[in-house]
Amino acid sequence: MVTSPSPQQSVRLEDYRPFPFRIPKTELDVVIQDDAVLVTADLHLEPVQDSSEPLRLQGVDLALISLAVDGQPLAADAYSLSGDALQIHATPHQPFTVTTVCKLDPAANGSLEGLYASGGMLTTQCEAEGFRRITFHPDRPDVLSCFRVRIEADRERYPVLLSNGNAVAAGPVPESPTRHAVVWEDPFPKPSYLFALVAGDLKEIRDHFTTASGRRVTLRLHVEAGDEPYTAHAMESLKRSMAWDEQIYGLEYDLDEFNTVAVRHFNMGAMENKSLNIFNSKLVLADAETATDGELERIESVVAHEYFHNWSGNRITCRDWFQLSLKEGLTVFRDQCFTADLHCAALKRIEDAAMLRNTQFREDAGPTAHPVKPDAYQAIDNFYTTTIYEKGAELIRMLQTLLGDARFMRGMRLYFQRHDGEAATTEDFVAAILEGATEDGSSLNFEPEQFKRWYHQAGTPHVSVDRQWEPTEGRLTLTFRQSTAPTPGQPDKLPVVIPVLWSVLNAEGRAGDERLLVLDQAQQSVVLEGLAKTPQPPVLSLFRNFSAPVTWTADQGDDDLFALFAEDTDAFARWDAGQQLWKRLLLARASGADASSLEMRMLDAVSQLLSPAGEQDPAVLATLLAFPGLAELEALQDEADPPALFEASCALRELFGSQLADALRQRLASSAESLQAHWPAGQGERQLTALIWSWLAAAGDEEVRDAALAAVSGPSMTLARAALRALQPIDCAQRLQALQVFHDRWQDRPVIFDTWFALEASTPRPDALARVEVLLQHPRFDPMAPNSVRAVLGGLVGNPSVFHALDGSGYLFMARQIIAVDGRNPITASRMAKVFSRWHTYGPQRKAAVQQALAVLAEADLSTNTREVVTLMQA
């Protein structure tokens, strides 16, 4: 029996060596029995250049029943089995076949990796290293193979049997009439992490898509009985994705069928297995009554993301896991563009920037900071991060900004043509983009090797901008400086290539011509001549469209920011100016400083936006009025104080709600008619209504509180959740009633009921920690479902006064829960452990409390995944 490996040494990029064998064909026979699964694997191998190296295969929690080479059983001294490896000492010098028969127990597999039981079905998750829990295999992304898979099972218990590719045969098992088998063949070589298998009693929703070349592709979505009515949105999202990829990239789907399965027990959001995408149920099952506008857009985006992987991840995969962003960063970029094209590009860009600032920038500033292309890891699962995904996408967007759309797309076409069917690297990607961009003889405006530093340097660059204004000459000199703070293992940073899109507001407050500065030195200056000869320097609009994933400071006073907030033609720059003003107000309140004059100016600015002559688009208005995230605010404090920031946010909402009540009620009335419009229509009005409810409810408006309570029973999940969020910070009768109504309405729908767990855990109340303990014992809480665990414990983290209590009770509670989760699901536990990553920014008392919690974690018997995270945080 091969068991889970002991803690391992770091895997290093510099140690990469190609696998000494090719495996052009893999045949699997998977026999599902009542209490176990038997997997017979035929690996058809070819030595690379007459390699004389032994054959080393990986395996975890497998019982090896038999082992043969070219049909001949191996003698005991011809192989060794230890730890997580099966080694065959000597192999033929010509092509040969290794056959293994393994027995595994999916019901006992709580890791949610490999083949495991989820409810009444069996399913797989093989990325990153789950295939080794199914059979012995190299299980590395640079070993590509064509798979033929036979699945056999009891027909009544497992009527649906799915794997990758096309179904080429199906029927009863002759010697056992109660059993049946299906054979799947995938003609495209793929790494083992893209293998998938699902067996269960599932209901099928079927549709089709006709490709640009006229091929008819069958689309099948498989869900548990009763979930069929909630699949239409996901199916339509898939068809939109397929059409978009053809229109924008010229990439068609390449098989006869495409299957999607919804699974409740799933560590990730979804998985792009070739032609058999497996999704967390939360990202499939939805309509306007059961999902918010944001969730509907998120589902559309994730469905697109996994489909786009068919080319950017599957047809071209990554050579090794250090190249993870090759597929994930690129596919995030593609799904962001898809959403921008289908909806509002400006608001999508703001949404992505806000997400990056509140998650990835925080990661960059903490002990788990790592480059987009790491150079070492202990557990690769720990690197499925916003740095790999979202920051990786920003690197590609910077290439697009630097090259322009036409040249960038030439490079993308070359990349897909050149590397189809290969396991590639980030260097391959950048080389193809730049070669395609310059194929017409044009030159680059940046140094490629310097740009690549973005892949290897961790941390968020900071840019400072100084103005020197000569009013009598109308001359403006701008000095840009870039620097990046030290990160673990990287004390010294070199300048990177930073595209700065910027403009100058003219005397009428409108932005002039947009300019691109390629900032590639530690310090650069730009001189503008012939500007209007005014006493005050012109207002700068910086990093328009969020042209680089950096932070910046400029000598912009309140007057400059209010001018940008009111007039800037770039949606991101306008929003960013407002965010800077909101930050100044919130930080002042949190520290007890007097900001009354700034508050009066902001009240006046918001009043103008709310007026009939103000901002007309409700979605834009709601976005401009939304407060910055607490993570962003914490990063700006000398000593981060999350409870003080939370109280400041509540107080500011109350102030603006009371001072602007009449204007807010008028906007509510004007939005009312569109509130029940079908998504995507009406989402701006619902977004604005949610914000106004939160302000007026905080200000004590009983009519709004009652309207919010009524919305919890209404037909729109968007409004129901908006109502709950508006009432949540307020200790009022409507809050208690609303939570109970939501509980009673959705307790039989686990995908939705997890929202109630999160709301309850994050509601500020004196007994909140005890309440979380009760939630963990709730009969509807499923400790084996990552969604449920994240809902309760993530809700606690989102309850600042409780999680960050000065006595350390919240930190210790979380540490003990992480230990418990780690025993059954290391991936979920290691990701949860990162909630402590900002401890060094807290005051002395909280620092000591977090260190105590980390010590409790360090003393526990942890998985490799969680041990790696805890060690980094203690360093």
3-state secondary structure labels for all residues of 337-390: HHHHHHCCHHHHHHHHHHHHHHHHHHHHCCCCCCCCCCCEECCHHHHCCCHHHH
The whole-number pLDDT of residue 5 equals 40
Domain contains 833: no
In tens, the pLDDT along 118-171 reads: 888 999 999 999 999 999 999 999 999 999 999 999 999 999 999 999 999 999
* CB-count burial class (<10 Å; 0-12, 13-18, 19+) for 38: middle
Mean pLDDT of 509-521: 90
pLDDT at 789 over 80: yes
pLDDT tens across 456-513, in order?
A: 999 999 999 999 999 999 999 999 999 999 999 999 999 999 999 999 997 666 778 8
Rounded Cα–Cα distance for residues 475 and 469 (Å): 6
Number of alpha carbons in the 13 Å side-chain half-sphere of residue 753: 18
pLDDT reported for residue 128: 97
Does residue 656 register a pLDDT over 90? yes
What single DSSP character describes residue 677? P
E strands of 48-202, at which residues? 55-58, 63-69, 72-73, 79-82, 85-88, 96-104, 114-118, 121-125, 145-154, 160-163, 166-173, 176-190, 197-200
Contact 553, 465 (CB under 8 A): yes
- Beta-strand ranges (E) seen in 226-321 are 257-263, 270-271, 276-280, 317-318
CA distances from 797 to 412, 583, 598, 656, 830 (A): 41, 22, 31, 27, 15
Of 567, 593, 621, the last residue of a domain is 567
211-225 mean pLDDT: 97
In a domain, 697, yes or no: no
> Is pLDDT of 710 > 80?
yes
**What does the pLDDT read at residue 343?**
98
In the 3-class helix/strand/coil scheme, how is 382-449 assigned residue by residue?
HHCCCHHHHHHHHHHHHHHHHHCHHHHHHHHHHHHHHHCCCEECHHHHHHHHHHHHCCCCCCCCCCHH
pLDDT beyond 50 at 4? no
pLDDT at 581 over 60: yes
- Look at residue 537 and tell me if it is in a domain: yes
pLDDT attached to residue 537: 93
Task: Answer yes or no: pTM beyond 0.85.
Answer: yes
CA–CA distance from 646 to each of 328, 650, 802 (Å)? Answer: 34, 6, 11
Establish how many alpha carbons lie within 13 A of residue 347's alpha carbon, considering only the half-sphere containing its beta carbon.
18
For the chain, the domain total comes to 2
DSSP line for 70-88: TTEEPPGGGEEEETTEEEE
- The kind and range of the H/E element at 313 are none
Q: What is the pLDDT, as a whole number, of residue 279?
A: 97
- On whether residue 174 sits in a domain, the answer given is yes
Q: Is 92 a residue whose pLDDT tops 60?
A: yes
Amino acid, single-letter form, for residue 703: E
Q: What is the DSSP letter of 48?
A: S
- By C-alpha distance, which of 744, 812, 807 is closest to 780? 744
Mean of the pLDDT values across residues 202-228?
97
Half-sphere exposure (CA, 13 Å, Cβ side) for 314?
A: 27
Q: In the structure encoding, which two tokens stand for residue 628, read together? A: 């910055």
pLDDT of residue 52: 80
pLDDT at 6: 45
506 in any annotated domain: yes
What's the CATH code of the domain at 554? 2.60.40.1840
Query: Does residue 390 lie in a domain region?
Result: no
Does residue 54 contact residue 87 with C-beta atoms inside 8 Å? yes
Ranking 8-12, 196-200, 229-233, 693-697 by mean pLDDT, the lowest is 8-12
d(CA 208, CA 218): 5
* pLDDT at position 875: 85
How far apart, in whole angstroms, are the C-alpha atoms of residue 604 and residue 644?
Answer: 25
DSSP lists the bridge partners of residue 80 as: 87
Residue 605: inside a domain? no
3-state SS, one letter per residue, for 729-795: CCCCHHHHHHHHHHHHHHCCCHHHHHHHHHHHHHCCCCCHHHHHHHHCCCCCCCCCCHHHHHHHHHH
Spatial distance between the Cα atoms of 739 and 390, rounded to a whole number of angstroms: 34
For residue 632, tell me if it sits in a domain. Answer: no
- Find tokens 């589902």 and name the residue: 299
- DSSP letter at 34? S
Confidence at residue 451, expressed as pLDDT on a 0 to 100 scale: 98
Q: How confident is the model at residue 8 (pLDDT cuts 50, 70, 90)?
A: low
User: What residues contact residue 65 under an 8 Å CB cut-off, 6+ apart?
Assistant: 38, 101, 102, 103
DSSP state of 806: T
Burial letters for 688-707: b for 16+ Cβ neighbours within 10 Å, e otherwise? bbbbbbbbbbbbebeebbeb
The residue from 517, 545, 567 where one domain ends is 567
| Model pLDDT, residue 846 | 98
Convert the pLDDT of each residue in 35-47 to its tens digit. 999 999 999 999 9
Looking at the predicted structure, is the pLDDT value of residue 220 above 80?
yes
Q: Is the pLDDT of residue 773 over 50?
A: yes
Q: Which residues are catalytic?
A: 306
Q: What are φ and ψ of residue 233, in 5° steps?
A: -65, -45
pLDDT of 119 reads 85
Question: Among 567, 588, 623, where does a domain finish?
Answer: 567
As a whole-number percent, the residues of the chain with pLDDT over 70 amount to 99
Each residue of 534-574: pLDDT tens digit? 999 999 999 999 999 999 999 899 999 999 999 899 999 99
Say how far apart CA 15 and CA 376 lie, in whole Å.
10
Exposed/middle/buried for residue 711 (C-beta within 10 Å: 0-12, 13-18, 19+): buried
- pLDDT above 60 (res 777): yes
Nearest to 376 by CA among 802, 657, 15: 15
Half-sphere exposure of 501 (CA within 13 A, CB side): 19
CA distance 320 to 18: 10
CA distance 23 to 98: 10
Residue 281 DSSP code:
G
Amino acid at 424: A
CB 788 within 8 A of CB 821: no
Of 226, 217, 438, 193, give the one whose Cα is nearest residue 319: 193
The predicted-structure confidence for 683-693, as pLDDT tens digits, reads as follows 999 999 999 99
Mean pLDDT across 627-643: 97
The token pair that represents 549 in the structure block: 């994933």
**CB 746 within 8 Å of CB 752:** yes
Bond preceding residue 354 cis, omega within 30 of 0: no
How is residue 646 written in tokens? 């939370």
Q: In what order do the strands lie in the sheet with 37-47?
A: 72-73, 63-69, 96-104, 37-47, 21-32, 145-154, 176-190, 166-173
Domain residue limits at 83: 1-201
